[in-house]
Structures are given as C-alpha cells and as structure tokens.
Amino acid sequence: MITKKKIAALGIAVMLAAVSLAGCSGSNKGESSNKPSNSAPASESTSTPDSGNETAKLTGDFEIQYFVGGYGDKWWKKVIADFQTANPELNIKESAGPKINDQNRPRWIGGNPPDFVYIDGPVLNDRQMVEDGQLEDLTDWLKDAKNIDGELITEILAQPAQQFDGKVYNIPLVLNSWGVFWNKALFQDKGWAEPTDFPSFLAVSDKIKADGITPFIHTGKYPYYINGSILFPAIVTANNNDFTILQDMAANKVEAFESPAVLAALNKIVALRDKGFIDKASIQINHTDSQMLFLQNKDAFIPNGLWLPNEMAKDVPEGFDFGFIPSVTQEAGGKVVANTSTATVAIAKNGKNKEAAKAFLQFIFSKEQASQWAELSGAPSNIKGDISSSNAPSFVKDAAKYLTDPNTIVIPTITYNADVDKAMMDATDALTINTITPEEWVKRVTDVVKKVSK
C-alpha cells in the first residue's frame, strides 16, 4: 500500500535481531508537501560515484519518486536533505505523495520516468516493472557496491534482494511482518487471554463476542491485508511449515493452488466467518476505516502490517497498547509463521542520471540512515543493527522476539503475478461473505493462473 527466494539460505531467523527500525507501508494514507514533478527526466550526471567510501562529485538533475503512506515522509525529507548537503551541485527533484504512483504511471509507460523509485503503495508492482523492462539491472553493480561507510551493501541487508531469473533489479529498504494486532489494555481489562494459536484465538473470540464486541475486522477494499496476515501463514502451517508452496504459487504452478494445504487454510477463514467473528462492515471499508473501528475497541483483532501504529498515530487513544503476533492460524503447540514483506528501491532503466541514483543507494543503505528511519517512521528497516536498546515501540520488539526465535517459520517476501494476486484477493473477500466456497476460491484463482501462464 505485498519472492525473495534466496532468503532461507541466509538464516532469516536472525533478521530482526539485527534490524534497526525503519518503515514503509502499502497503505494509501499520507500527505506530502511536494507536488509531483511533471518535468522531463533529469540530465545525466557527468561524474561517477565509486563503490567504496567516497562519492564522486555529482551534478545535473536527479529525480526521486516516493510514495507517502503509513510511514509518512519525514525520513525521506531528512535523507534527501542530507544527500543534497553532501552533493550541493546536484539538483534534486522530489515526486512524492499518496497518489504519486498513479500520477507518474504515464511517465513510466512512456519511457520518461524519474531516476529513482521507492516501490511501495498501490499501482507499483516490482515483478511487473521488471517484466515491463522499466528497472535497471543492478546485478553486477550490487556485487561490489559499498555504502558510504565502506560496508558491502549485500552484507548489511537483513533480507537479500529478490532475484528475477537470476538478476537483481531492486533492493529491499523496508522490512515488514504481517500479523494480527489487539489492544493489550482492553484484553487486560476484560480478562481475555492473548492468542498464541488458532484454538486460543477461537476461544478468546467466543468470549469477545459474548461481551458484545466483534472479534475481527479486516480491510475489505484491500484484501491483501487478510491474505498476508491470515491466509498465507495458514497455508504454510497446513503445508507442514514449508513455505515453498507459496513460492510455487508465485511461480504460477496450478498444482500448488490445488494443494490440500490451500483448502485447509481457506477453511480457517470459513470458521471465522461461520462463527460470526468477522465484522460485516469489513467487506466494504478501507484500511483507515477498519483501523479506526479497531482503535475505538469496536473490534478486538485486526490483520495488518507493522506500519499500523505509526499510520494511525494521531488517532490512537490514550492508554491504547498494541499487542502483536505474526500468525494465529497455527495449531496448539505449532510454530508461529511470520509472513514478511519488503518495500524496495530501484533505478529506472530509462533514467537520465543513473550515477546519482547509484550514489543515493549507497547513501541510504547505511546504519545512520537506518537509525534515522527508526526515529522518524517507527518500523523495521532492512538494514542490520541492534534494536535492544533502541526507542523501538513495544509491538516492534514483540515482533522481533518472534522473528528471532529459531522456532518461528519466517516466510521470505513473495511477489505474485499482479492478475493472480488480484484474483486471490477478490476470491478471499467473496469467501468471507459466503458467496463462494473454498473449492470455488481455488477454481477462480487457477483459472487466472492458467490464463497468465499461456
């Protein structure tokens, strides 16, 4: 506002133990004082930054596109100002705002994009941008690229860059875990037990419902929230904690969607529906409306990403205390499943100032900038660093405990074909209101998978 397939081999279980705080969200909320630039692409820099500790003199125009969502734009303002100070002869232009992806879409299609892009929010899909030839191939550059502190960028990433047919086009800047939130203060006041698995989630939801509060609300207009937080972890649980089934789904393998694990996961959503736990308002509301009802304690649980508290900071009531668990769909005694996602940054293939864009990459992937992101956005970055003594919010530290537990199953970020992803979201919405069955969910989605695979 959601296939870094190499992640398992790099010990992702330690990722948030070593992550400083930063943030990004796929939500639609956010304001920016910068109006999007409609100017032609920047003139190319005449100098080349080296990949070590120093950045050569940069000149010319350099345009940065970034979506303003749940994590705000304070970090972007600060890092761009810092980069401008370090490169006074560079003319930096900002294309930013909550609607910037829509506004700049004609430029990307027309081959006239900004030089640098933050891939987050609606419209932008990294896999689609790669398939459309819009992003620069960074494979060779990234092998030896160092940040401004002289550290190899590849060595300080908590989650490595996704590969598309063996090539790298974008680098993860922000790390998020999907999961389920609740108000710890409300639970303590009501004497409700915090959930640790699916049976305890159902049990406490029965008590919540009996107390006159709806147990669960989701963002019906953006069903990737419920898919990311509930459905995908449930599929992994039902697949003996093996997340490669999701990677097979991302590879458009029909047999993966037809697996018994998918039906088992869908039936957990059916259980929530049939028990009357899902707020009937969910199907027609967006993320902010559902989040407001949650913050008003009208609904006890909400599936969301770690950006939620920061996105709603102005509306959080006094005394509200965010509880968080990455998954509630595991059976009693089963392992927690954390479905991660990232927001990435990339250089436009048709950008005019690629050298400035590479220098900016070297600048932002530093521990100093990770620390600033922690302060200004309040969610994890993808840059390794110790958060134990940081000012991280308690819910982020809760997430870190799960993500650093060797018993947690951490799903690497997986990007689905855009049409297939939409089909899954639409089908999940239909399932929550009982207009289709789990079997019909599978049929709907596999029909699209077969179509896009031709």
Amino acid symbol at 397:
K
For every one of its 454 residues, what pLDDT tens digit does the chain have, with 9 covering 90 and above?
433 333 333 333 333 433 333 333 443 333 333 333 333 333 344 444 444 444 468 999 999 999 998 788 999 999 999 999 999 999 999 999 999 999 999 999 999 999 999 999 888 989 899 999 999 999 999 999 999 999 999 999 888 898 999 999 999 998 788 999 999 999 999 999 999 999 999 999 999 999 999 999 999 999 999 999 999 999 999 999 999 999 999 999 999 999 999 999 999 999 999 999 999 999 999 999 999 999 999 999 999 998 898 889 899 999 999 999 999 999 999 999 999 888 899 999 999 999 999 999 999 999 888 878 767 776 677 887 655 555 667 777 777 778 767 899 989 888 899 999 999 999 999 999 999 999 999 999 999 999 999 8
Structure confidence at residue 385 (pLDDT): 64
246 in Cβ contact with 235 (< 8 Å): yes
| Multiple choice CATH, 21-174+343-396+405-411, 3.40.50.300, 3.40.50.150, 3.30.43.10, 3.40.190.10 | 3.40.190.10
Are 323 and 184 in contact, with CB atoms under 8 Å apart?
A: yes
Secondary-structure percent of the chain, ordered helix, strand, coil, rounded to 5: 40, 15, 40
Note the pTM of the prediction, 2 decimals: 0.71
Same fold, 21-174+343-396+405-411 and 179-304+417-452: yes
Give me the sign of the Cα torsion angle 51, 53, 54, 59: positive
Helix (H, G, I), strand (E, B) or coil at 226: helix
**Eight-state DSSP code of residue 9:** G
* Dist. CA 122–CA 428, nearest whole Å: 19
Question: What's the pLDDT tens digit per position in 8-61?
Answer: 333 333 334 333 333 334 433 333 333 333 333 333 444 444 444 444 689 999
SS3 86: helix
Phi-psi region of 88 (alpha: psi -120 to 50; beta: other; left: phi over 0): alpha
Report the C-alpha gap between 51 and 362 in whole angstroms: 8
Instruction: Kindly report the three-state secondary structure assignment for every residue of 103-165.
Output: HHHHHHHCCCCCCEEEECCCCCCHHHHHHCCCECCCHHHHHHCECCCCCEHHHHECCCCCCEC
Give tens-digit pLDDT for 217-234.
Answer: 999 999 999 999 999 999
Residues 6+ apart with CB under 8 A from 425: 222, 223, 224, 227
**Residue 3 CA from chain centroid, whole number:** 12
CATH architecture for segment(s) 179-304+417-452: 3-Layer(aba) Sandwich (3.40)
How confident is the model at residue 358, as a pLDDT?
A: 98
Q: Produce one character per residue of 364-382: b if its CB has 16 or more CB atoms within 10 Å, e if not.
A: bbbbbbbbbbbebbbbbbb
For the chain, domain boundaries: 21-174+343-396+405-411, 179-304+417-452
Task: Tell me the one-letter amino acid at 227.
Answer: N
Q: Are 310 and 23 in contact (CB under 8 A)?
A: yes
Instruction: Give the pLDDT score at 393.
Output: 73
Of 15, 18, 44, 50, give the one whose Cα is nearest residue 147: 50
Order of all β-strands in the sheet with 179-183: 214-216, 299-304, 179-183, 322-325
Alpha carbon distance 232, 411 (integer Å): 9
- What's the pLDDT score for residue 24? 37
Does residue 257 sit in helix, strand or coil?
helix
Q: Which tokens go with 87?
A: 């490169």
Q: How many helices (H) and strands (E) does the chain have?
A: 19, 12
Phi-psi map region of 73: left, alpha, beta (phi>0 left; psi -120 to 50 alpha): alpha
What pLDDT was estimated at residue 376? 78
Do 197 and 328 touch, CB atoms closer than 8 A?
Answer: yes
